Structure 1
């Protein structure tokens, strides 16, 4: 009987045989994925990885919309819990006997599914936050390093990143440099996710208000998360941290003051990316006592000796960014100007203004590879006094979306980095945790359209007009999860942690 079935199968046409094989494989795969514990684990793992990208909404394909939203909230809640404990500032006892020439050391690191770089900075006071030099767009780290004469640098905080093609000029959270508040989208009394350094060189990670940062003597800071080591204790004690695999940028500090920056390449065949726990474990091997993440995903990169030494996963190579941590021989001589001062709105950019994207589209169009858009029929205008039910007058005009307001002496934007489709929407920070529709970086609910931040150079920044997404950056996507249905991008940094 078996041979007759085989003969019968061989008599099928090649098309019918192919369809039968595909159907059988689909049945077996679906049965495994949806009816077995290992299959459920794989689906949830894939969903976590997607949640930390700029396509978070698509995670429903693996676990359904309800479970996806629940997973996002779980990530955000865990980030919030891990950010609460205040640091023991006295725990760092700086080693002052190091030779001056011993500034940094860079080495290769690798794991089963990833490759990256680790940089040791032996004097944390040599680290400064640097921002772009041109109003209206971010700056690549290689350009920042060359312009300022820095020895090395890594990417910093999150930003609003429409279409994954933002211009890097709309930060999320706070930016401080040289003790000055260059930008913040939160009032001075609202806590937000912070990664920064005091004037003595102590790394500060967790949720702090601007007022508290000033009291602690913090001089350099950006916003992102999550925190993974607090006062010597690992915060991820089971599982992999819940954010899947992705490119990562993280920073930690040892008890002798040494700062360690880690950048992991990802989303490539040669390096898939690292989990949060894998990075935490790297820090623990070095006896790091405090550690957390910076923006990740397509923004993750490290520059050393004027060269990009990691491989960013960004479609067009290095991205334009709003902030970076750079290392200097003479940090006291570095002047960082506030390019957001005096601005009343900030355009986060997007596909319609991205130079490399527009160039690529023009080339495809010239080669005839772009689909020709189907012309739409022009609707017949209705008379001014239309009698159509429910309408008064002839037409309904779309609601005007107010542009976000940055401040140079004014207000800030949201507190959670994520990518937002509408770069010109008013930023509104909201308290955590609320489900939203953002893209990356966890730690607080998804920010809503933080496209228009308000920088605040004053010691006590004013509150944003429409706060939403309070205090947690959402990464440019790329590293931290945000609540489902939020419109902002970049790390609270939501799922770009990192």
Structure 2
């Protein structure tokens, strides 16, 4: 044992690093796959990935079959939780002053924290002051800080989900339904098809469940978005075992107490200061507050709370605030504002992505600029190295034994010919990627397909399509290196026939000439087809 340790100490630093990495990998894999605690950790990791835009990668932790079972279990829970009809008689809305209220009279914000997370809790004392707001222009969503400042709102919280390619979507491809001021601003379903809804009636009663547009109108819904799952129904918690099946992550949720007070919960996640909360933890927070009904809203990198134009939470998005298709905003007089019908007349919606994200493009431009300012020093090509090596080879007055001049010339010719010939090196042209034009019902930033807490699309949306290109490898016409081996004086190489030294040199030069046959390149275009799955499922991402 001691001798082994001494040998390890004598290894180079890179060899030690490789050894320790291998040992650590072996121990970690053994713990995760051979122990019960490791199995629970793998399931937790799989749950977290399933509710992001990268659901398919969950097989790494639990396998494809177990992943599919977990997804189905989650879907079944979402449907079951939405089934019970809401009893509006449990909520008694208090009378509130009509106008001219200060921020402190409208809302109150408090810090909250748990073992693995920190966040904010906002009380809204008059539920009738809440309105769903939409972006002002077609083609892209809007950051909540801009939305609050533009419309004169007191505060704002992110609402429903949207299709979010690569986590860099433009925030315009909303899914489900958006209702504001009693008007249906957007829906990707026929009015008779039920959708997961989180919203408020004109009397200020929070409604969470699965309803179609016709039912929502009969219920007097004033403002609503689409998301899931339902957490509390008629005073009863719906997550009674486990952690809710969504792992840990950034969360946004809303609940309502019996006196009508609305509570928004916003929790940071996927960061060093806050890993994130489970759905069970969010549900329990709202239960402790006395909420009668509660539902989960879009989470992941979209989770944020803005008060008086200031962002109070820390979104996990790499570029800070994201552009969103809608938000719940608080107004002293909500009747004075109106949401824009920016989706009217649009048949197909481009969800965006890295190709048109302004922050991403700016970042890439800066990287290219730095590379141009600090170019990598040029290195000698293989041909130059070979030439230099040949030129600097020391000469001797004494010729090698049994090695006539003819063979020496042949060897030099072969060496140069190999370094200069174009054959054998495949030419590969860069592929092109063209954004597709998705529909309007895939997943959002934290839903099935991105970011991580989104319900499934299932609304007829398709992911952007891309094109790929391939290339055919080029090379020697006969597939050989074109090198003729040297032969002892007075003999001929196999297959070349006998001849004089001059003939041997000439044949060697001909053999090593570059192949004049040009390489052929072939391009094939493939258009992958991706679409959202069911109406209320997490993403087929996407952590």
TM bracket, shorter-chain basis:
0.7 to 0.9
Deviations 1:241-269 (A, max 9, x none): 11111111110000100000111011110
The answer on whether the counterparts of 1:194 and 1:224 sit within 8 Å (CA) in structure 2 is: yes
Deviations 1:14-33 (A, max 9, x none): 55444433333222222111
Among 127, 140, 156, the alignment partner of 1:137 is 140
How far did 1:471 drift?
3.6
The answer on whether the counterparts of 2:301 and 2:452 sit within 8 Å (CA) in structure 1 is: no
Among 427, 443, 455, the alignment partner of 1:417 is 443
CA distance 1:97–1:334, change in 2 (3 Å): closer
Among 208, 212, 215, the alignment partner of 2:211 is 208
Deviations 1:109-153 (A, max 9, x none): 111111111100011000000000011111111111111110001
Answer with 1 or 2: which has the greater Rg.
2
Q: Which residues of 2 match residues 164-183 of structure 1 at below 5 A?
A: 164-183=167-186
1:73 and 2:69 matched: no
1:186 and 2:186 matched: no
User: Residue 275 of structure 2 corresponds to which residue in structure 1?
Assistant: 272
User: Residue 128 of structure 1 corresponds to which residue in structure 2?
Assistant: 131
Among 304, 321, 331, the alignment partner of 1:328 is 331
User: Residue 51 of structure 1 corresponds to which residue in structure 2?
Assistant: 50
How far did 1:159 drift?
0.7
How far did 1:11 drift?
4.9
Looking at structure 2, the residues matched to 404 and 163 of structure 1 have their Cα atoms a distance apart, in angstroms, of 14
Deviations 1:447-486 (A, max 9, x none): 663569xxxxxxxxxxxxx9964543x6xxxxxx23x47x
Looking at structure 1, the residues matched to 13 and 346 of structure 2 have their Cα atoms a distance apart, in angstroms, of 66
Of 55-64 and 329-338, more deviation after overlay is shown by 55-64
How far did 1:75 drift?
1.4
User: Residue 103 of structure 1 corresponds to which residue in structure 2?
Assistant: 106
Among 314, 318, 321, the alignment partner of 2:321 is 318
Looking at structure 2, the residues matched to 80 and 250 of structure 1 have their Cα atoms a distance apart, in angstroms, of 18
Deviations 1:276-297 (A, max 9, x none): 1111111011010111111111
Looking at structure 1, the residues matched to 239 and 133 of structure 2 have their Cα atoms a distance apart, in angstroms, of 31
The answer on whether the counterparts of 1:417 and 1:450 sit within 8 Å (CA) in structure 2 is: no
Q: TM-score, normalised by structure 2?
A: 0.72
Q: Which residues of 2 match residues 392-403 of structure 1 at below 5 A?
A: 403=437
The answer on whether the counterparts of 2:449 and 2:532 sit within 8 Å (CA) in structure 1 is: no
1:35 and 2:73 matched: no
Cα RMSD of the aligned pairs, angstroms, is 3.1
User: Residue 149 of structure 2 corresponds to which residue in structure 1?
Assistant: 146
The answer on whether the counterparts of 1:152 and 1:326 sit within 8 Å (CA) in structure 2 is: yes
The count of residues paired between Structure 1 and Structure 2 equals: 423
1:307 and 2:310 matched: yes
The answer on whether the counterparts of 1:145 and 1:151 sit within 8 Å (CA) in structure 2 is: yes
Looking at structure 1, the residues matched to 55 and 16 of structure 2 have their Cα atoms a distance apart, in angstroms, of 37
Looking at structure 2, the residues matched to 257 and 281 of structure 1 have their Cα atoms a distance apart, in angstroms, of 19
The answer on whether the counterparts of 1:420 and 1:450 sit within 8 Å (CA) in structure 2 is: no
CA distance 1:9–1:207, change in 2 (3 Å): same
SS in 2 for 1:267: coil
Deviations 1:209-246 (A, max 9, x none): 11110000001010011111111111111111111111
Looking at structure 2, the residues matched to 302 and 259 of structure 1 have their Cα atoms a distance apart, in angstroms, of 15
Among 232, 237, 242, the alignment partner of 1:234 is 237
Q: Structure 2: which 5+ residue stretches go unaligned?
A: 377-425, 465-529
The answer on whether the counterparts of 2:446 and 2:454 sit within 8 Å (CA) in structure 1 is: no
User: Residue 514 of structure 2 corresponds to which residue in structure 1?
Assistant: none
Looking at structure 1, the residues matched to 356 and 8 of structure 2 have their Cα atoms a distance apart, in angstroms, of 56
SS in 2 for 1:351: coil
User: Residue 287 of structure 2 corresponds to which residue in structure 1?
Assistant: 284
How far did 1:92 drift?
0.3
Looking at structure 2, the residues matched to 167 and 187 of structure 1 have their Cα atoms a distance apart, in angstroms, of 25
CA distance 1:311–1:371, change in 2 (3 Å): farther
Q: TM-score, normalised by structure 1?
A: 0.78
CA distance 1:366–1:6, change in 2 (3 Å): closer
Q: Which residues of 2 match residues 72-91 of structure 1 at below 5 A?
A: 72-91=71-90
How far did 1:444 drift?
5.3
Q: Structure 1: which 5+ residue stretches go unaligned?
A: 380-399, 406-412, 422-435, 453-465, 475-480, 490-494
CA distance 1:468–1:239, change in 2 (3 Å): closer
The answer on whether the counterparts of 2:140 and 2:171 sit within 8 Å (CA) in structure 1 is: yes
Whichever structure has more helix as a proportion of its residues is 2
SS in 1 for 2:66: helix
Looking at structure 1, the residues matched to 158 and 13 of structure 2 have their Cα atoms a distance apart, in angstroms, of 53
The answer on whether the counterparts of 2:135 and 2:325 sit within 8 Å (CA) in structure 1 is: yes
